[in-house]
Structure formats: C-alpha cells, structure tokens
Amino acid sequence: MAKAKTVAAASHLRTEFRKANRSETTTTIGHLGKWFATALAKTGRGIGDLYAMPFKNRRRGSLHAGRWKVALGSAFLVFLLLTGSVLVWALKDVPWGEIRDGSLKPVVVLETADGAPLVRQGPYQGPYAQYNQFPPQLIDAVLSIEDRRFMHHFGIDIRGIGRALLRNFEAGSVVEGGSTITQQLIKLQYLDSDRTIKRKIQEVVIALWLEWKLGKQEILTRYLNSAYLGAGATGMPAAARIYFNKDISALDLPESAMLAGLLRAPSQWNPIDNFEGARQRTAVVLDAMVANGKISGPEAEEAKASFAKLHPTTPTPRSGSWFADWISPQAGEIAGSSPGSTTVRTTLVPHLQQIAENVVKRALDREGKAAGASQAALVAMTPDGAVVAMVGGRDYKASQFNRAVTAMRQPGSTFKLFVYYAALKAGLTLSDWVLDAPINIDGWSPENSGDRYHGWVTLAEAFARSLNAATVRLADQIGLDNVIAAARELGIDAPLANTPSLALGTSEVNLLDLTSAYASVHLGKAPVRPRGIIDFQAAGQPKAFRVGLQAGPNVDLSPYQSDLLGLLQLVVERGTGRGADPGTFAAGKTGTSQNNRDAWFIGFTKPLVAGVWVGNDDDAPMNGVTGGALPARIWRDFMQEAMAEPAPNEASSTGAMIDGRGAPQSCNIAACSRSYRSFRPSDCTYQPYSGERLLCEK
C-alpha cells in the first residue's frame, strides 16, 4: 500500500511539472515555488504513510526495505528542497517577458536619402530578416557545422555534450563545444558571459523554456539575425551586405557556406583579413553539409572551386560616421522598444557626403600644417534644414568627436548677422550711417582688423567689411537685448552673454546651429531646425511614416529677407568673403575669433546651405588664418563640386521620394508623445480608453 502511494506521489510530481510547463506563468518565481510546495506535500504524504504501517504486518525483510524507502524518500525530499532553492536563487532576475518578446535589443537600420544602406565604419546590423528570407542552403550550412541535431533536441543536446567531452579528452584540450544554437542565442542576447554556476543554471532552464515557447524556426531566426560575423557585421543580413553587397536572400551556396563558417571564429576567418583561412573554413563547412546529406560530393567540389572567384570586400562607407552617430539616438527614440527592426531613412546624400569628406581632407593635407590648423568641420543642408552631409573632423577613425555638433566655439564675425537683423527690425536701413571709429565701453575697446577705421559708413559697408567698431557701436545703439532676441528668433539656443563683446561673437555656439540660422535667412522663415530623418518603417508595418516637423514658433522673415540676402551676397562679391565665390549666386559671412583660434565661413547657394569651421582641438591659435582664407576656400570647393553633380533631390528632404514604399503619412512624434502616454512611435498609434489602437494624426 505504501509503495503504491509513493509511486502515486511521484506520478503526481510529474503531472504537476507538466501543468507548470503548460502554464504561461511558470516563468515567475512565485509559481515555481508553488509547484515545489505542492510536489513536496504530495511526496511527503506518500512517504509519511510508510511510517504509519502497522509493525505487525511487516516481516523482517519488509522492515529493512521500509527503512531504505524512508531514507530514500527523505533524501528525495532534501534533493527537491535544495533544487527548488537553487532554481529560485538562479532564476529570480531572468527577464522572461523580454526574452519571450525578443525586445531586449531592437534593431535600427539606417538608410541614406536614396534608400541605400547607411554603412558605418563601426558595428553594422542589417534589417531583421524573417525565417523564409534566409536561403535554404544557408540554413543547411549553419545547422551542418553548428548544430546538426538542432531539429531533434530540446535545447540541450546530451549526445552532443558527451561527444564533445570525449573528443576534448582525446585531444587533451578544448577542440569542440557542446552548446546548441539555442544556448548560443542565449549567450548572444540574454545572459552575460560570466562562467558561474548561476549563469549555467539560467542557460539550461532558459534553453528548455525557449524551445517550448518559441519553437525551432523562431530560435534559428533570432540567432541568424544576432550572431557576430566579423568586419563589424552583426547578423547574416549585415554580413551579406558587408562581404558581398547582397540582400540575404540572394546568397549562393559558397557564399552561404562562408558565412556559416564565420560563426565559430569571425575574427580568425574574416575573409577580408584572412582570405585563405576563410577558404579553408568554407571547405570544412561544405564537407559537413555532404556528411549531413544536404548536398552531394560533386556539388561541394564545385562550390569549393567557385570560392576562388569570390572577392569579399567591405563597401566604401556611404556616410561619415559622424552623421550616423548624430542621428542614431533620434532613430533609436523612433524605434523605441519595438521588437524586430525599424528602417529609418535619413536625409544624407551619399555623393555630397563623399565630396565633403574629400574637400576637408584635401584642404588640411595641403594647407593645414602651414596654417597651424589640425581640424576642420563641414555641415551642408537644404534650406529647410535637411542635413545632406556632415564632416565632424579630419579623420573619424582617429577621433569620433563631432566638431560639427558637439564642439562649442566662438563664432567671431559670423555672429554679426544677428546684430544687423536686429538693426533692421529696429527700423534702420542698409543705407543708414554708423560711425566706425575707436570706441570704449566700460574699459573695453574693440579693434578693427589691421587697426584701420573708416569713419562714417553705411550699414551695408560695415557688414561687408566686417568692421568691429562700427558693429559694436550699432549693437550698443539698438540694445544687446534685441540682438539676443534676434539670435533666438533665428534658432540660436546656446547661452548668450549680455556683454558688449557679444556683438563680435564671443559667446560659443556650434557649427550645426549656426548653419541652421543662416538657412533661416535663405528660407525666409525661422527657425530652421536641422533634421536628419525623412521617414521610418517598423518591421511588419505595411507603410512608412514621414517624420513631422517640430512644432514651434514660425517667424516670417520676408520683410527683412531681401536686405539680409543683400548683405550676405555683398560679403562674397566684394567683402571679406571673396575667397568663397563659387562663380554663381552665393551669400555668406566670414568669422574669426580672437588670436585666430577659430575661423568660419557660413553661407549658401540656391540649392544648399553650408558651414565650415577650421581650428585646433586644444584651442591653439592658428598662423593668421581668417574666415576669408582657408574656411572660405573649403566652402567654395565643396559648393563647386556639389553643384557640378546633379543637385540634391529636394524631394528627399520633404519625404516625397519614397522608393516604392507608397506615399507616407506624416507622424509628428513630438506632438503625439505629448498628447498620448500610450503613443507608440514604431506605428504612430495610441491606445484609446476602449477599442483598438488608433493612428495619431496630429
């Protein structure tokens, strides 16, 4: 009778385990504890019955057998208690929901304005591919070399572990691992790399749970999208683009075998750095596919022969990574925590970016040493603020610091635009007179370049010649508060000191904001906010959404635009900016900070607005470099080469060019986020109090 009850208790234990695995809530510690408590109670009752057996009904042999059963039962209880405690300790901090949803690492894929991949010089992850997008020969290659029994085991391959242990023992070192693809996925995405008992327990339990919860296809899909494959490529889609410039679905057999071979040691067998090693590893993969019955011997030999024709090379980066670094946080906010990938199309125009990089490098190589200038930055945008090129320094590999966005430097005379805009708003005209003579304000006496003064001059002449004394006197006349207000209207958000020297650009700004302010003059509306995103489309969504422009004040500059354009055009035609003349319509302003530490030229042609800064990171003075010299020449060379190419399609900045996606609906993320707490950027929807999610149409 007691034996039957003990067996029944054990049977109940197995039943409870099955129920727990079928339950959605088995992943919580509370339910794990409940399961163990129930199991222990049932088992305890069965063992307790052994103690209650009448002694007279026991024979001597039965007595000994009963005592052994009691001892074994007690040991089993202790084992269950210890196991339960260990599991509770090991699994209490596992993010089960995030693992199930695959939302720990959302993927953001950046594209250029024409829809091409925006390949960075750093790590690159391509769009998330679904299972049916991976070619069958790639899946066969991966399973043959990494986990031949993947479709048959339950996340932990006992046979594979035993085989690996035997081969490692025979070799006297670790030559083979026993991890399944499921375990490798867990290591890649969900757990740290610590080799602790706690982590090993987590790995085993999560592997079993993932197999039951996700299934084989989803596990393999996640693995192929997240494995590192060398040369900065994360995931098979990125590797296909990096090594072969192909979509993942277009890979052939030798290409598939090569990528599968990289999984074990991507740095060692990277074909760009070790082509012969990659060839040998590919041959191993093809032989494994033959042994696994996936291809025939002749097919393998043909693939090995064709491998010699492969020429994997990393594509020339389509953008300066300064731009990608600048836009990635904004793209990440759009994607949010959406599982899968979100494709974000940016405003960057590849051929303009290449021109910008070449012009900056060539100028510094040619003149930088003699000029005492080690760095330069360039930003180009359309008049409405779409950034089409961004160079943040001389060499991104040497320094990722973005001097176009992050560096705050004194703008010098480029700030005078705001003084003269304030003067026009105060009712003055360009033909009004201002005295250009030595001036002293509270002990401060600004000097003109060359210490030359011109007496009474018109506002137009004072601006074109960039006369410091005349500009300071004008700012004092109209009021510094009005100058600051004018700068704010045109989009300058940096702190501005209310001191007389402000008129000469002593308060620091960055190149991106200053260029945007000049774009406001070109557009005739202010402020122009620099932007780098056209539209975005989340995986599984049927259409893309155009990013709505930021809401804010909209100042009509039309009453003053003609005069401001005239001032800026005069600088290029016969003022300090003559070195920037590209031979066609151009308007702009030079700027030089004290002791030639910073030199600027900001201006525009009809299609483009661009700003250039030249200087040194340590703020060291240059050898007499002014804004009308090296910066003006860099600006001129960029504009001449840019306009020699087809002008950037203005549709790329308005979102009208969609490359087959269909006309996107605008999604004003900022306005929608303010209005709805449940707003989700990935599909531009919010959750009302009842019913399905609705599209935000603000």
Q: Which is more confident, 216 or 409?
A: 409
What is the rounded distance in angstroms from the CA atom of residue 289 to the CA atom of residue 143? 9
Which residue spans within 16-100 are E strands per DSSP?
A: none
Whole-number Cα distances in Å, 9 to 6, 37, 41, 556, 615 = 5, 13, 9, 83, 81
Q: Is the pLDDT of residue 2 over 50?
A: no
Residue 450: the pLDDT is: 81
Whole-number Cα distances in Å, 535 to 69, 262, 532, 655, 661 = 70, 34, 10, 7, 10
Q: Does 405 lie in the same domain as 533?
A: yes
Tokens of 414: 């480029």
Residue 266: the pLDDT is: 84
**Are 253 and 298 within 8 A, CB to CB?**
no
3-state secondary structure of 324: helix
Of the listed ranges 267-276, 417-426, 590-599, the one predicted with least confidence: 267-276
Q: What single letter denotes the amino acid at residue 392? A: G
Q: Which of 237, 239, 244, 219 is nearest to 229 (CA)?
A: 239
Q: Is the pLDDT of residue 65 over 90?
A: no
- Mean local confidence (pLDDT), 644-653: 51
- Looking up residue 286, the CATH number of its domain turns out to be 1.10.3810.10
Q: Which residues contact 369 (CB under 8 A, 6 or more apart)?
A: none
Q: Does 613 lie in the same domain as 500?
A: yes
Q: Which is more confident, 28 or 113?
A: 113
Q: Does 529 lie in the same domain as 406?
A: yes
Q: Cα angle vertex 127, ends 125, 131, to 5°?
A: 115
Please tell me the number of Cα atoms within 13 Å of 681 on its side-chain side: 25
Of the listed ranges 177-186, 389-398, 588-597, 619-628, the one predicted with least confidence: 177-186
- Mean local confidence (pLDDT), 553-565: 92
Model pLDDT for residues 326-346, shown as the tens digit of each residue? 988 788 777 665 556 678 889
What residues form DSSP beta bridges with 665? 545
Give the domain extent around 415: 354-644
3-state secondary structure of 30: helix
Helix ranges, 92-196 (H): 96-101, 136-146, 158-171, 181-189
CB-neighbour burial class of residue 474 (10 A; exposed 0-12, middle 13-18, buried 19+): buried
What is the rounded distance in angstroms from the CA atom of residue 305 to the CA atom of residue 29? 55
Sign for the CA dihedral angle at 124, 129, 131, 133 comes to negative
State the pLDDT confidence band at 423, using cuts at 50, 70 and 90: very high
Q: Does 303 lie in the same domain as 183?
A: yes
State the pLDDT confidence band at 531, using cuts at 50, 70 and 90: very high
pTM score of the predicted model: 0.67
Q: What letter would DSSP give residue 507?
A: S
Q: Which is more confident, 536 or 411?
A: 411
Q: Which of 286, 308, 280, 301 is nearest to 141 (CA)?
A: 286
Residue 283: the pLDDT is: 94
Q: Cα angle vertex 350, ends 344, 356, to 5°?
A: 125
Q: Does residue 382 lie within any of the structural domains?
A: yes
Q: Does 675 lie in the same domain as 628?
A: no
Q: Does 627 lie in the same domain as 689?
A: no
Residue 590: the pLDDT is: 97
Q: Does 377 lie in the same domain as 244?
A: no
- Top-ranked range on mean pLDDT: pick from 175-179, 399-403, 447-451: 399-403
Q: Which of 352, 289, 329 is nearest to 140 (CA)?
A: 289
State the pLDDT confidence band at 352, using cuts at 50, 70 and 90: very high
**Are 198 and 92 within 8 A, CB to CB?**
no
Q: Which is more confident, 373 or 188?
A: 373
Q: Does 632 lie in the same domain as 584?
A: yes
What is the rounded distance in angstroms from the CA atom of residue 622 to the CA atom of residue 595? 8
**Are 306 and 296 within 8 A, CB to CB?**
no
Q: Is the pLDDT of residue 57 over 60?
A: no
The total domain count for the chain is 4
- Mean local confidence (pLDDT), 289-299: 94
- Mean local confidence (pLDDT), 281-300: 94
What is the rounded distance in angstroms from the CA atom of residue 694 to the CA atom of residue 623? 61
Q: Does residue 29 lie within any of the structural domains?
A: yes
Q: Does 174 lie in the same domain as 72?
A: no
Number of Cβ within 10 Å of residue 252's Cβ equals 15
Tokens of 439: 């001036």
Mean pLDDT of the chain: 79
Helix, strand, coil share of the chain (percent; to 5) = 50, 10, 40
Q: Does 399 lie in the same domain as 301?
A: no
Q: Is the pLDDT of residue 507 over 80?
A: yes
Give the pairing type, strands 341-346 and 107-111.
Answer: parallel
Q: Does residue 553 lie within any of the structural domains?
A: yes
What are phi and psi for residue 536, nearest 5 degrees? -150, 155
Residue 215: the pLDDT is: 83
- Mean local confidence (pLDDT), 317-333: 74
From 71, 92, 113, give the residue that closes a domain.
92
**Are 341 and 109 within 8 A, CB to CB?**
yes
From 285, 307, 329, give the residue that closes a domain.
307
Q: What is the largest CA-CA distance in the chain?
A: 129
Q: Does 604 lie in the same domain as 462?
A: yes
Q: Does residue 636 lie within any of the structural domains?
A: yes
CB-neighbour burial class of residue 194 (10 A; exposed 0-12, middle 13-18, buried 19+): exposed
Model pLDDT for residues 592-607, shown as the tens digit of each residue? 999 999 999 999 999 9
Q: Does residue 108 lie within any of the structural domains?
A: no
Residue 430: the pLDDT is: 95
**Are 385 and 522 within 8 A, CB to CB?**
no
From 92, 113, 140, give the residue that closes a domain.
92
Q: Does residue 206 lie within any of the structural domains?
A: no
What is the rounded distance in angstroms from the CA atom of residue 151 to the CA atom of residue 497? 69
- Looking up residue 408, the CATH number of its domain turns out to be 3.40.710.10
Q: Does residue 609 lie within any of the structural domains?
A: yes
- Mean local confidence (pLDDT), 84-113: 60
Residue 74: the pLDDT is: 67
Of the listed ranges 83-97, 141-155, 483-497, 612-626, the one predicted with least confidence: 83-97
Q: Does residue 231 lie within any of the structural domains?
A: yes
3-state secondary structure of 126: coil
Model pLDDT for residues 612-647, shown as the tens digit of each residue? 999 999 999 999 999 999 999 999 999 999 998 664
Q: Does 672 lie in the same domain as 634?
A: no
